[in-house]
Amino acid sequence: MDATVHRPAPRLALRSRPPEHLLLPDVHLFDPACGLDRRGSLLVRDGVIAAIGETGGLLADAPEAVVLSHLGGCHVFPGFVDMHAHLRTPGQEYKEDLASASCAAAAGGYVLVAGMANTDPPVDGGPLASWVLDQADQVADVMLAQVGAVSHDLRGEVLSEFWELADAGVVAFSDDGRALRDLDLLLTALRYAGSIGRPVLLHLEDESLASDGMMHEGAWSARLGLRGIPGAAESGPLARDLEVLRAVVEERALRSPALETGGGVPLLHLQHLSTAASVRLLRAARAARLPVTAEVTPHHLLLGDDLVAGFDQSLKINPPLRAEEDRAALLAALVEGVIDCVATDHAPHAPHEKEVPFEDAPFGSIGLETAFPALYGGLVEMGSLSLSRLVDALSAAPCRVLGVAAPSLEVGSAADLCAVDLAEEWEVTTADLHGKSRNSAFLGRRVRGRVVMTMVKGARRFERAAEAGNDAHAGV
Ligand SMILES: [Zn+2]
């Protein structure tokens, strides 16, 4: 690619806070990207990780540091990154807004969250993208990135203002919430996205197959008498769209022998994969070295369609919770790195919208506050996934997809991190949730690992209200 090509950088918006001078004493430092897995103390100063060492030595050099003794024994991870959330601003702030979403994110250990474009109105032009990011600069306690729409008004007909959106700093392009039916539009979007250096994030759904479906089509939908959404509603369009990707890659290879596929931002990223058939297609595409990456949600990794028998509206999700063989295939792909990252698809809905008959409820579950504990308790503790792969999938991997710097515990890095008490087992209740909405697929479930503190740019953004006897406070 010509080095002179104009490639605007993504804008990460954050309310500034005075950096703090803090010592995290005797914690377990864990960052697979820099091979860190040991006990130690960590000093934060001027927004960065200033030193790692023993408490005594660090305090001798920095006697004025505030010592966060209640974090002793916690694991400290590079902060989590969610590349798929619905922040509901503008237009649906009764469900969630930038402040409440960033509160929920910080409470879940996240330091960076990307908001989808399917707001009201959709973010399909530069001025609106800039407006959202300006708002985030005022209220967001974690870094917020904005995704721009692929098509004008998300109608799938006319391409949105790609260059204008890129200049406003969008991190990617997506019509998420709706499928792209028009292959010429997808082809054009991939060409533009490739020259801008941002990925297209794809929501795969054949609307004719999914039409009026409420859950996975299988034995359980038959038993419950609910109209099903077959797996082919996802894998069908995926097979087709991968051929479009292949065409764009071949075209670009003809024009530019130095095609940026190795290690760079992918052209295409597959959102919330849910079926074994999709995993098979992804494996083949990766084997063919197509520039494609993928994400999976915690609920698709942990929950199955049998749970819909309880008619809990929070389990009405799109794509739907699938069968056990799908869940197993998604997990295997995540373990192997064929699926790159975990994304929450955090989709807040107000109680008056969700607390209606199952058939009438909107799709979606919130997920920012339960992602780590659900996956740690449900997969790592059970021996199904390593802690290092989980932390990578929650932090560095989505940054590789988006082409942004990953949080790191290396000395000199920005202090974007979270502290988690891995020993705490807890049951998710509505009282634990910090966002505006309560529609969590994990309500009532036991999870393990509790985020105790989240720090962004060296300032505490969340600290869990503590038991008597220590100085922690919530909602810093
Ligand atoms: Zn989607």
Q: With helix as H, strand as E and coil as C, how does 15-79 read?
A: CCCCCCCEEEEEEEEEEHHHCEEEEEEEEEECCEEEEEECHHHHHHHCCCCEECHHHCCCEEEEC
Q: CB within 8 A of 356, min separation 6: which ones? A: 313
The mean pLDDT value of the chain amounts to: 93
- Please tell me the predicted confidence (pLDDT) of residue 471: 41
The answer as to whether 375 is a domain residue is yes
In this structure, the strands spanning 341-342 and 292-296 are: parallel
The answer as to whether 449 is a domain residue is no
The answer as to whether 46 is a domain residue is no
From 176, 305, 326, 345, active-site residue? 345
Structure tokens at 243: 């051929």
Residue 416 falls in the annotated catalytic set: no
The answer as to whether 3 is a domain residue is no
Separation between Cα atoms, residue 219 and residue 46, nearest integer Å: 57
Using 50, 70 and 90 to split pLDDT, how confident is the model at 420?
very high
Ligand 1 midpoint to CA 205 (Å): 9
Ligand 1 midpoint to CA 221 (Å): 21
Considering only residues 264 and 95, tell me which one the structure prediction assigns the higher pLDDT: 95
- Please tell me the predicted confidence (pLDDT) of residue 473: 41
pLDDT at 248 over 80: yes
Q: What is the mean pLDDT of residues 95-120?
A: 97
- Please tell me the predicted confidence (pLDDT) of residue 259: 42
DSSP state of 152: G
Q: What is the mean pLDDT of residues 101-114?
A: 98
- Contact between 452 and 464 under an 8 Å Cβ cutoff? The reply is yes
> Residue 324's CB: how many other CB atoms inside 10 A?
12
pLDDT at 251 over 90: no
pLDDT at 78 over 90: yes
CATH number of the domain encompassing residue 179: 3.20.20.140
The answer as to whether 323 is a domain residue is yes
- Please tell me the predicted confidence (pLDDT) of residue 256: 52
Lowest-pLDDT range of 3-7, 258-262, 312-316, 432-436: 258-262
Ligand 1 midpoint to CA 334 (Å): 19
Lowest-pLDDT range of 148-152, 352-356, 383-387: 352-356
Lowest-pLDDT range of 24-33, 252-261, 273-282, 284-293: 252-261
- Give the structural domain span for 315: 79-406+436-441
The answer as to whether 17 is a domain residue is no
In this structure, the strands spanning 215-216 and 200-202 are: unpaired
Ligand 1 midpoint to CA 319 (Å): 7
Structure tokens at 146: 């904005």
Those residues whose beta carbon sits under 5 angstroms from the ion ligand 1 are 176, 203
- Please tell me the predicted confidence (pLDDT) of residue 171: 97
Ligand 1 midpoint to CA 273 (Å): 9
Ligand 1 midpoint to CA 16 (Å): 31
pLDDT at 255 over 80: no
The residue count for the chain: 476
The answer as to whether 416 is a domain residue is no
In degrees, rounded to 5, the angle at the alpha carbon of residue 21 between the alpha carbons of residues 17 and 26 is: 125
pLDDT at 388 over 70: yes
Ligand 1 midpoint to CA 367 (Å): 14
Separation between Cα atoms, residue 407 and residue 405, nearest integer Å: 7
Using 50, 70 and 90 to split pLDDT, how confident is the model at 265?
confident
- Please tell me the predicted confidence (pLDDT) of residue 472: 40
Q: Which amino acid is at 452?
A: V
Ligand 1 midpoint to CA 279 (Å): 17
Domain count, the chain: 1
Using 50, 70 and 90 to split pLDDT, how confident is the model at 254?
low
The answer as to whether 226 is a domain residue is yes
Ligand 1 midpoint to CA 202 (Å): 8
- Please tell me the predicted confidence (pLDDT) of residue 302: 98
pLDDT at 3 over 60: no
CA atoms within 13 A on the CB side of 199: 25
Ligand 1 midpoint to CA 270 (Å): 10
- Contact between 118 and 85 under an 8 Å Cβ cutoff? The reply is no
Ligand 1 midpoint to CA 56 (Å): 49
pTM: 0.95
To the nearest whole percent, how much of the chain has pLDDT over 90?
A: 89
In sequence order, what are the beta bridge partners of 51?
A: 43
Q: Give me the residue label for tokens 């959106």.
A: 165
Separation between Cα atoms, residue 38 and residue 19, nearest integer Å: 26
In this structure, the strands spanning 172-174 and 459-463 are: unpaired
- Please tell me the predicted confidence (pLDDT) of residue 176: 96
pLDDT at 436 over 80: yes
Considering only residues 7 and 62, tell me which one the structure prediction assigns the higher pLDDT: 62
pLDDT at 92 over 50: yes
Ligand 1 midpoint to CA 93 (Å): 19
Ligand 1 midpoint to CA 272 (Å): 7
- Please tell me the predicted confidence (pLDDT) of residue 466: 58
Ligand 1 midpoint to CA 407 (Å): 25
- Please tell me the predicted confidence (pLDDT) of residue 252: 78
Ligand 1 midpoint to CA 438 (Å): 19
Separation between Cα atoms, residue 15 and residue 6, nearest integer Å: 28
Using 50, 70 and 90 to split pLDDT, how confident is the model at 6?
low
Q: What are phi and psi of 61, to 5 degrees?
A: -80, -25
Considering only residues 257 and 217, tell me which one the structure prediction assigns the higher pLDDT: 217
Ligand 1 midpoint to CA 410 (Å): 34
Query: What pLDDT, in 10s, does the model give residues 439-454?
Result: 999 999 999 999 999 9
Ligand 1 midpoint to CA 118 (Å): 10
- Contact between 114 and 67 under an 8 Å Cβ cutoff? The reply is no
Nearest to 466 by CA among 60, 16, 32, 72: 72
- Contact between 414 and 112 under an 8 Å Cβ cutoff? The reply is no
- Please tell me the predicted confidence (pLDDT) of residue 5: 60
Q: Which amino acid is at 43?
A: L
